[in-house]
Amino acid sequence: MYFRGWTRGQAQRLGLNGWVRNLRDGRVEVLAQGDEAALRELEKLLWQGPSFSRVDDVAVSAVTEEGSLSKGFHIAPTA
């Protein structure tokens, strides 16, 4: 399974809102919102990734946004 689809599945299972997308330089970007414990679990999972993936680094930043993300977790277009 590809990384974005796997990430979407994990985030949905954890009840998170947000999105995952490819970046043109080959990295993958995730914006997730939800319960703190679920966010920490997603971070742990991202370090592992799906089988046949290679994860070199996971950078985490807190983002302060006005309002909430739309409900659900989706795959966004490449940026």
Query: Known catalytic residues?
Result: 4, 22
The whole-angstrom separation of Cα 50 and Cα 29 is 15
C-beta separation of 14 from 41 below 8 A: yes
Distance linking the first and last C-alpha atoms of the chain: 21
C-beta separation of 11 from 32 below 8 A: yes
